[in-house]
């Protein structure tokens, strides 16, 4: 089924703005069909696997149908687990970010019910909850459904497998009969069909099926990565596997920009590719990637279409793809022209593990779990790589002019071993010092003072305006005339950026950067406190 842009789905300006901010470029198949149908008020049965973007498929039209002037419950969403309820609520809040007056509240077991009662008393139009906890609130009369206009059963088959059928039927019988009923399920069992027949009115069946997809003989692995640790794990894998050329895939344009910024801060030769970039910029980036001037290309699925580079050694799925077909297209970028290739996928939480299992089934391939490399393994790999580089230089010869330096030092009673050890310390130690200056994305380090001889400045622009380190370096060098290599550590935050410059140049930079525009935004530069 052909996918289309979100802009063509007839969404309100507020939701379209939220979708754009989240960085999504294209609706999945289930979203393309479901959103218009649910927005029209039809009862819907969505037959689709995990990981196809179902939350947006029902969440966006649910928000569109809310009467913001009415603070009572208008939409009830049932999820099988606490984790899924929290995830769905979080995503719905993001889609409703610019739709003022909408409140979504998750209710689930394991959290004090008094806290949930307090939140409900403050008013909420969308409730996302597990069947058991919803039933508990109904018994306490803390959920009032007289204004309910829509109920959504997410992963209905999973709820039935967990023994929630009686609770679900009780809830469906207790809410107003004049309502819209939407059900999503990966399977269509007899129990599911019985519920649809009893509680839905002339439902529209949406069945998203994919033909079984096969992938080339590519080694496929996955890592369970804690939330917030993906960047660190990606860097470790790149350092250990050391691919000559690789691609990293993200689900959103925003994630591409943020990841490129983090990689560049760590000194990796990387750049991004997504739909917001002008064609000239995309062509330039691809040209640099093909020429080897960029080692790591970070891209969205849509922007990466048509890329034809034969020697990509590794693919990293920074985000689990929203569609099985996307997974096939992604990893198909490696292992071309008879060469070997590897694909690595990062998963966080049970839901994403389930999504990966669906991908594995539909791609008819084995995706093997691996353990995240330790820091000692990373260091060992770097040392091994350094030794290989030294051997290559030794075998190449033409060292006579450098041998004179060794001879002079040996004349001063230094042994050749001592000299070699000192040189290695200068090279490897210098690399470690450079790496230690970079803040890890998943760690918070409070910096109290700048490097010796440097002054820390604060620039009033950050990640919110898609800023990365190269933009700051370019602006300062261009406006003040100081050399880019003289600029020190740069830390890009959401709303601002800190940058270190030589103390003697600080006032010159502040004066030169007055009213400077970066990425089209007027900025100010001051001394950081």
Verify that 260 and 342 share a domain, yes or no: yes
Nearest in space to 80 (alpha carbons), one of 152, 149, 141, 31: 152
Q: Residue 249 is part of a domain; what is its CATH number?
A: 3.40.50.300
Query: Are 80 and 130 in contact, with CB atoms under 8 Å apart?
Result: yes
Nearest in space to 301 (alpha carbons), one of 256, 235, 270: 256
The pLDDT, as a whole number, for residue 41 is 94
Query: Up-side HSE of residue 210: CA atoms within 13 Å toward CB?
Result: 26
The pLDDT, as a whole number, for residue 520 is 79
Verify that 344 and 385 share a domain, yes or no: no
Q: 443 lies in a domain?
A: no
Query: Are 378 and 241 in contact, with CB atoms under 8 Å apart?
Result: no
Q: 212 lies in a domain?
A: no
Q: 284 lies in a domain?
A: yes
- The conformation of residue 211, written as its DSSP 8-state character, comes to P
The pLDDT, as a whole number, for residue 52 is 62
Query: Are 32 and 46 in contact, with CB atoms under 8 Å apart?
Result: no
β-strand pairing of 497-502 with 204-207: unpaired
Domain containing 459: what range? 454-527
Verify that 252 and 338 share a domain, yes or no: yes
Verify that 243 and 319 share a domain, yes or no: yes
Q: Which residues 6+ apart lie within 8 Å of 31 measured at CB?
A: 6, 9, 53, 56, 57, 60
Q: 1 lies in a domain?
A: no
Residue 29: both structure tokens together: 């198949």
Q: 71 lies in a domain?
A: yes
Query: Are 163 and 81 in contact, with CB atoms under 8 Å apart?
Result: no
Verify that 294 and 348 share a domain, yes or no: yes
Verify that 348 and 389 share a domain, yes or no: no
- The total number of structural domains in the chain stands at 4
Q: 294 lies in a domain?
A: yes
Verify that 261 and 185 share a domain, yes or no: no
The pLDDT, as a whole number, for residue 438 is 39
The pLDDT, as a whole number, for residue 210 is 60
The pLDDT, as a whole number, for residue 442 is 34
Q: Give a three-class secondary structure readout of 470-503.
A: HHHHHHHHHHHCCCHHHCCCEEECCCCEEEEEEH
Verify that 61 and 158 share a domain, yes or no: yes
pLDDT averaged per 10 residues, the chain (length 529): 72 91 82 93 86 84 94 95 87 94 92 91 94 93 95 92 91 95 90 94 85 68 90 93 92 91 89 83 86 91 73 93 82 76 91 87 86 83 77 77 78 80 71 43 41 86 84 84 81 87 90 85 86
Verify that 135 and 53 share a domain, yes or no: yes
Verify that 232 and 192 share a domain, yes or no: no
| Cα-only R_g, the chain | 28
Q: 214 lies in a domain?
A: no
Q: How many CB atoms lie within 10 A of CB 401?
A: 7
Residue 515: both structure tokens together: 């009213």
Residue by residue, DSSP assigns 356-387 as HHHHHHHHT---EE-PPPPHHHHHHHHHHHHH
Burial of 205 (0-12, 13-18, 19+ CB in 10 A): exposed
Query: What is the per-residue burial (b if ≥16 Cβ within 10 Å, else e) of 97-129?
Result: eebeebbbbbbbeeeeeeebeeebeeebbbbbb
Query: Are 318 and 255 in contact, with CB atoms under 8 Å apart?
Result: yes
Question: pTM here?
Answer: 0.56
Q: Residue 477 is part of a domain; what is its CATH number?
A: 3.30.70.330
Cα separation, 364 vs 324, in Å, equals 11
Query: Are 482 and 474 in contact, with CB atoms under 8 Å apart?
Result: no
CA distances from 361 to 46, 49, 155, 162, 437 (A): 20, 11, 18, 23, 43
Verify that 245 and 161 share a domain, yes or no: no
Verify that 485 and 405 share a domain, yes or no: no
Residue 481: both structure tokens together: 């005339």
The pLDDT, as a whole number, for residue 101 is 92
The pLDDT, as a whole number, for residue 434 is 44
Q: 446 lies in a domain?
A: no
């Amino acid at each position: 089924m052909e996918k289309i842009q979100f802009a063509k789905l007839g969404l309100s300006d507020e939701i379209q703005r939220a979708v754009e901010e989240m960085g999504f470029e294209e609706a999945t198949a289930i979203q393309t069909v479901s959103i218009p149908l649910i927005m029209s008020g039809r009862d819907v049965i969505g037959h689709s696997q995990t990981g196809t973007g179902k939350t947006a498929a029902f969440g966006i039209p649910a928000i569109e149908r809310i009467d913001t002037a009415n603070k009572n419950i208008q939409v009830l969403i049932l999820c099988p687990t606490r984790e899924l309820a929290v995830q769905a609520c979080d995503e719905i809040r993001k889609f409703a970010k610019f739709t003022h007056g909408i409140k979504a509240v998750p209710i689930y077991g394991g959290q004090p019910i008094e806290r949930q009662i307090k939140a409900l008393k403050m008013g909420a139009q969308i409730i996302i909850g597990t069947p058991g906890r919803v039933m508990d609130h109904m018994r306490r009369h803390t959920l009032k459904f007289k204004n309910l206009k829509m109920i959504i059963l997410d992963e209905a088959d999973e709820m039935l497998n967990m023994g929630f059928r009686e609770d679900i039927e009780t809830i469906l019988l207790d809410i107003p009969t004049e309502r819209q009923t939407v059900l999503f399920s990966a399977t269509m069992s007899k129990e599911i069909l019985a519920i649809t027949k009893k509680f839905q009115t002339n439902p529209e069946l949406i069945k998203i099926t994919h033909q079984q997809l096969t992938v080339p003989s590519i080694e496929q692995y996955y890592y369970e990565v804690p939330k917030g640790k993906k960047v660190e794990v990606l860097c470790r894998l790149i350092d250990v596997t050391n691919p000559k050329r690789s691609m990293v895939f993200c689900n959103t344009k925003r994630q591409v920009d943020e990841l490129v910024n983090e990689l560049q801060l760590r000194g990796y030769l990387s750049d991004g590719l997504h739909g917001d970039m002008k064609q000239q910029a995309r062509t330039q980036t691809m040209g640099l990637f093909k020429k080897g001037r960029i080692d790591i290309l970070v891209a969205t699925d849509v922007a990466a279409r048509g890329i034809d580079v034969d020697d990509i050694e590794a693919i990293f799925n920074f985000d689990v793809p929203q569609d099985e077909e996307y997974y096939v297209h992604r990893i198909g970028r490696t292992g071309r022209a008879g060469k070997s290739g590897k694909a690595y996928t990062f998963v966080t939480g049970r839901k994403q593990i389930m999504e990966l299992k669906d991908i594995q089934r539909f791609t008819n391939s084995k995706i093997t779990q691996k353990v995240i490399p330790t820091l000692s393994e990373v260091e060992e790999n770097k040392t091994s790589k350094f030794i290989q580089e030294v051997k290559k230089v030794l075998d190449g010869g033409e060292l006579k002019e450098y041998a004179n330096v060794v001879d002079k030092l040996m004349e001063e009673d230094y042994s050749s071993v001592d000299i070699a050890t000192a040189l290695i310390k200068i090279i490897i130690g210098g690399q470690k010092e450079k790496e230690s200056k970079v803040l890890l994305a998943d760690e918070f380090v409070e910096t109290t003072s700048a490097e010796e001889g440097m002054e820390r400045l604060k620039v009033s622009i950050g990640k919110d305006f898609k800023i990365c380190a190269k933009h700051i370096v370019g602006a300062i060098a261009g406006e003040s005339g100081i050399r880019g290599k003289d600029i020190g550590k740069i830390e890009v935050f959401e709303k601002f950026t800190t940058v270190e410059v030589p103390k003697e140049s600080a006032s010159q930079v502040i004066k030169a950067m007055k009213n400077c525009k970066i990425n089209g935004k007027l900025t100010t530069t001051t001394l950081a406190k």
